[in-house]
Amino acid sequence: MHTDNLDQQRKSHSFGQEQKRPGEARTLIVIVITGLMMIVEVISGVVFGSMALLADGLHMGSHAAALSINAFAYVYARRHARDERFAFGTGKVNTLGGFVGAILLSGFAFVMVWESLSRLSSPVVIAFDQAIFVAVLGLIVNGASVFILGHHGHPDHEGNPGIDSGTNIHGQGPAPVFNHQIHHDHNLLSAYLHVLADALTSFLAIFALLAAKYFGLIWADPAMGIIGAVLVARWSFGLLRSTALILLDREGPEDLRDRIKQSIESHDDNRVTDLHVWAVGPNIYSAIVSLVTHHPKLPDSYKDLMPVDQRIVHLVVEVNACDNKD
């Protein structure tokens, strides 16, 4: 029996999650910017007696709190990446952070609609100059935050995932490198949508305030609030749907499943009888393949058939010999 070198045969299931992701640093930078802006606006609102400044400062604070959840998800996933209690690593923690962020974003959209409807029914006196100043300042800060979170930069060399395979055996293959774009990192996407929503509301607010100040269209301010809320709600629901499907282990992309099947069935007389592919992290997947063949080989042979760009970091292959001689 093999008892002396079992530790060497055991493979890590961290899949690169133990390394700091670019999205973590970007989110922390935006939290600092948002937090400083919140402090300035709250202090200015109290000192100068401006409710507009005070309200926008508190609004900034709510988004800083939401972004802090995204930052916590990054730190938690990284610090527990090698925790064996997580069967397939902590990659889904980032997806969970995106899910929670999407819920908060939809909540903010509801508050925006409620406040806008109340102002349509009961208009309030607007201090246009102060409000426009706050909106312009918010647009500048949020625009910078959108740029920070949305800037892809260089490819992310954080992951060194190989391909594991075997019939109850995990073999570590060569390490493909993935470029984790924002649309694959749901946690980063959640933070991005938060600041994008703020930038959108600031832009719409400037348009509405100018219309109200110079053309007397007082209803434009709450109307733009409702339009902005609808767009924010649509973004949040889309993020909720995509993250929920991953958390519920929905099958991976159809094109990825087809490529896996084709790579195996294009050799010998292999036929895939069962295939499951699911996400275990941002743009990385695990797969279980069951196949039947007249010429069974070791599982590593089928692992070698997989192109390295398949994004499969954990592959289990079940090989069944075909009893039919035809």
Instruction: Encode pLDDT of 9-47 as tens digits.
Output: 666 666 777 778 778 889 999 999 988 888 887 787 677
CA angle (148, 149, 151) in 5-degree steps: 70
- For residue 12, what is the domain's CATH number? 1.20.1510.10
Look up residue 20 and give its DSSP letter: P
Q: How many domains does the chain fold into?
A: 2
User: Strand, coil or helix: what is 301?
Assistant: helix
Same domain, 307 and 233: no
Whether 67 is in a domain gets the answer yes
Same domain, 189 and 90: yes
List pLDDT tens digits, range 132-172: 888 888 889 989 999 998 865 443 433 333 344 443 333 33
Whether 258 is in a domain gets the answer yes
Whether 188 is in a domain gets the answer yes
Same domain, 210 and 307: no
- For residue 308, what is the domain's CATH number? 3.30.70.1350
Region of residue 89 (phi > 0: left; psi between -120 and 50: alpha; otherwise: beta): left
Cβ atoms of residues 164 and 171 within 8 Å: yes
Q: Where are the beta strands (DSSP E) in the chain?
A: 271-281, 284-293, 312-321
Domain range for 65: 8-162+178-247
Domain termination residue (choose one: 247, 265, 291) = 247
User: Strand, coil or helix: what is 152?
Assistant: coil
Whether 169 is in a domain gets the answer no
Same domain, 232 and 86: yes
Same domain, 146 and 276: no
Same domain, 49 and 133: yes
User: 26-30 long-range CB contacts below 8 Å, 24 or more apart?
Assistant: 26/148, 26/149, 26/151, 26/188, 26/191, 27/67, 27/70, 27/71, 27/74, 27/149, 27/187, 27/188, 27/191, 28/71, 29/148, 30/67, 30/145, 30/148, 30/149, 30/191, 30/195
Q: What is the pLDDT of residue 159?
A: 39
Look up residue 279 and give its DSSP letter: E
Q: String of b and e for 226-245 (b: at least 16 CB within 10 Å)?
A: bbbbebbbebbeebbebbee
Collect the ranges in the chain with pLDDT lower than 50: 153-181
Cβ atoms of residues 298 and 292 within 8 Å: no
Same domain, 297 and 211: no
Instruction: Take residue 51 and report the two structure tokens written for it.
Output: 């409710």
Which residue type, as a one-letter code, is found at position 132?
I
How far apart, in whole angstroms, are the C-alpha atoms of residue 323 and residue 326?
Answer: 9
Look up residue 21 and give its DSSP letter: P
Domain termination residue (choose one: 214, 247, 280) = 247
Same domain, 208 and 317: no
Whether 15 is in a domain gets the answer yes
Same domain, 154 and 238: yes
Q: What is the pLDDT of residue 22?
A: 78
Whether 167 is in a domain gets the answer no
Same domain, 105 and 217: yes
Whether 168 is in a domain gets the answer no
Domain termination residue (choose one: 232, 247, 262) = 247
Same domain, 207 and 281: no
Same domain, 90 and 216: yes
Q: Structure pTM? A: 0.78
What strands lie across the sheet with 271-281, from one edge to the other? 271-281, 284-293, 312-321
Whether 289 is in a domain gets the answer yes
